[in-house]
Chain A
Amino acid sequence: MTLFTLYAIGGVGLFAMGLFSFVAVAHLLRKILALNVMGAGVFMVLIAIAHPERAATQATGVDPVPHALVLTGIVVAVSATALALALTCRYHAETGRATLPEDGPGNEGSGR
């Protein structure tokens, strides 16, 4: 097993774990964490792709593009996480709950 596959499979594993947690758990903080785990998984896959074993650019050692993508992705993830946390705080402050209401089709959609 090469380092590349190790990283890639690790990334896939993280992605799936995050996904499972995201779907299965209702607590908002855990959902946000799960999203970050998923994100980390994707980033790991990207970094694995950049590994010299695969990257054709021998001189630079690694393929810089996925690294740049990961950096961009991380910043996006940070922003999204901040927004999600801010909303969760607000929601919690107003309702005292940390889970979204489970609403069926009947009471979905509330105007104002």
Chain B
Amino acid sequence: MNTPFAGLWAVLLVGLPLLLAVGAYVAGRRIRPILVWIVPLVMAGMVTGLIHGLIDQGPLHYEIGGWTPPLGITWHIDGLATAMLAVTVLVMGAVCAYAPSYFAGSIKTASAEKTKLFWPLTYLLWAALNALFLSADVFNLYVTLELLTLGSVVLIVLAGTTDSVAAALRYLVLGLMASLFYLMGVALLYASYGTLDMATLGGQLQQDPLTWTAASLMIVGLLIKTALFPMHFWLPPAHAGAPAPVSALLSALVVKASFYLVLRLWFDLFRPVAPAPAAQFLGALGACAVLWGAIQALRADRLKTLIAYSTVAQLGYLFLLFPLSSAPAVAKTAWLGVILFALSHALAKAAMFLAAGRIQQLAHEDRLDRLTGIGQCAPLALSATALAGVSLIGLPPTGGFAGKWMLLVAGVESGQWWWALVVVMGGLLTAGYLFRFWAIAIAASEHPSQRAPVNWRMELPPFMLGVAAVLIVFLATHVAQLLEIGAAFPIGGSGEVAP
């Protein structure tokens, strides 16, 4: 009974933002103020409906246009996809609530002309994200990826500065090259297996040079988009240079989307045929990212650069999944841990960037050495960074801790001590650079500034995101149950988290 509804919700999750983007673009800014509030609520309702449908009747295969897989495009909607949709709604909701005040209050950021473009672009980005999370067709994924990359690039340019244009260009050309890598891989897969549907492909992949090459091309392309060390260099200028709400979207969702694809490709397609060293290699790159990103964040002289490098480091964590999951006994623990980590990172990082935007607005800049005592001006924004930061560090009781704990357990239990050490070292370094900022922010300022009146529309969204990043740990069990719905995961070994 629920299936048509679940399907309808899924369709609307893509269709509605697309229509909204179109409408917002044509209408200019007239219909905006209502939409800002209603849209996230409606989308949240639809995601909830989808999750209910999933809980009732398991994973959903939706054949678009009614064409069965080899001919048409299929959506594969499982727990992981809906979890990503849900976190997207949360972050988008916060960003939508935050953005009007941000653009109204930023003197430097462009004219009304350009902020007008923010809404259609954001809705397009939302549609692209949802479409990407739902799709199970390797070529359709290419189109959603392009939609995502181009949308992100344009959003960065809204900052209006020369630096942001340069950063956007660098991101764009690299992203395009990455897409072409991916597309070449798709072409090879199609040449050999004659289908683009992931479920059909997954059943028949063989261990041959063609599959390896196709897999490498696709994954390398996605790694560039995920900014995995050493292909991370485009990320900090782009994420730091964008307007704060855009930075939040990019760091929280866009890089996660390409990681999500790596995850899908790896676990749905390539894991059985991938040679073992590949997983270890990915893990090693992740470990380098954790260390290098943290070191750069420690050296950063601007708040947003610091947060952007933190994204580089935190993305590194996610890649520890590949070596850890190669031990069947702990594969599921590691898988759940990484996804929990990614979800809470999305919430926390969005909170960080939104709060940083508010702080930047109050201080008129974000050079760290000019932010002394800023905490007294914006206590709520600072507490948002505190809540989010604790989750990033991975201290209990936060979502970040849940992920980290499961990674640790997976590492220790499978005897892969070095990965466990990377996990804890990364946490320490994260604490290092975040406390560097906090110490500055709460230091006694020589010129104590007036406590600005709280701008609720700019400070409450990041604060709520921070709270969510912390409290998600108390839902970890439920999130894990959701994620297991239709997990295309070979439930090998004990798998159980608790004995």
Contact = CB atoms under 8 A, between A and B. Distances in A.
Interface of A: 15, 19, 22, 28, 31-32, 35, 38-39, 41-42, 45-46, 49, 54, 56, 65-66, 69, 72-73, 76, 79-80, 83-84, 87-88, 90-91, 94-95, 100-101, 103, 105-106, 108-112
Contacts of B173: 22, 28, 31-32, 35, 84
A79 to B, nearest CB: 7
Nearest to B308: A109
Mostly helix, strand, loop or mixed at chain A's interface?
helix
A112 B241 contact: yes
A42 B169 contact: no
Contacts of A80: 146, 150, 172, 176
Given A65-B190, A109-B300, A111-B305, 15 more contacts: A31-B173, A35-B177, A39-B180, A39-B183, A41-B184, A56-B194, A65-B196, A79-B150, A83-B154, A84-B173, A87-B157, A87-B168, A90-B157, A111-B241, A111-B365
A109 B141 CA distance: 30
Interface of B: 108, 139, 142-143, 146, 150, 153-154, 157, 159, 161-166, 168-170, 172-173, 176-177, 180, 183-184, 187-188, 190-191, 194, 196, 233, 236-237, 240-241, 296, 299-300, 302-305, 308-309, 360, 365-367
B236 A108 contact: yes
Q: Is the interface of B mostly helix, strand, loop or mixed?
A: helix
Contacts of B300: 109
Given A69-B139, A109-B300, A83 B172 contact: yes
**Interface centre among B161, B180, B237, B367, by most A CB within 10 Å?**
B180
26 contacts: A28-B169, A32-B173, A35-B173, A38-B177, A38-B180, A39-B183, A45-B184, A45-B188, A45-B191, A49-B187, A49-B191, A72-B139, A76-B143, A79-B146, A80-B150, A80-B176, A83-B154, A84-B173, A87-B157, A94-B165, A95-B162, A108-B296, A110-B302, A111-B240, A111-B304, A112-B159
B187 A46 contact: yes
B240 A110 contact: yes
A72 B163 CA distance: 32
Contacts of B196: 65
B171 to A, nearest CB: 10
A54 B190 CA distance: 12
A65 B163 CA distance: 41
Contact of A15 (B170, B184, B240): B184
A39 B173 CA distance: 12
A109 B180 contact: no
Nearest to B180: A38
A108 B237 contact: yes
A72 B143 contact: yes
Contacts of A39: 180, 183
Contact of B172 (A87, A90, A103): A87
A84 B172 contact: yes
A85 to B, nearest CB: 10
Contacts of B194: 56
Contacts of A35: 173, 176-177, 180
Contacts of B176: 35, 80, 84
Contacts of B304: 109, 111
Contact of B180 (A42, A72, A87): A42
A41 to B, nearest CB: 8
A42 B183 contact: yes
B163 A49 contact: no
B237 A83 contact: no
Contact of B169 (A84, A103, A111): A84
Given A79-B150, A80-B176, A109 B236 contact: yes
A46 B189 CA distance: 11
A15 B213 CA distance: 14
Nearest to A82: B150
Contacts of B184: 15, 41-42, 45
A63 B164 CA distance: 43
Contacts of B168: 87
B237 to A, nearest CB: 5
Given A69-B139, A80-B172, A91-B169, A110 B187 contact: no
B143 A87 contact: no
B93 to A, nearest CB: 25
A45 B189 CA distance: 12
B306 to A, nearest CB: 9
Given A15-B180, A84-B173, A109 B166 contact: no
Nearest to A106: B299
Contacts of B162: 91, 94-95
B293 to A, nearest CB: 11
Of B183, B194, B302, B303, most A-chain CB atoms within 10 Å: B183
A95 B366 CA distance: 23
Given A80-B146, A91-B165, A109 B305 contact: yes
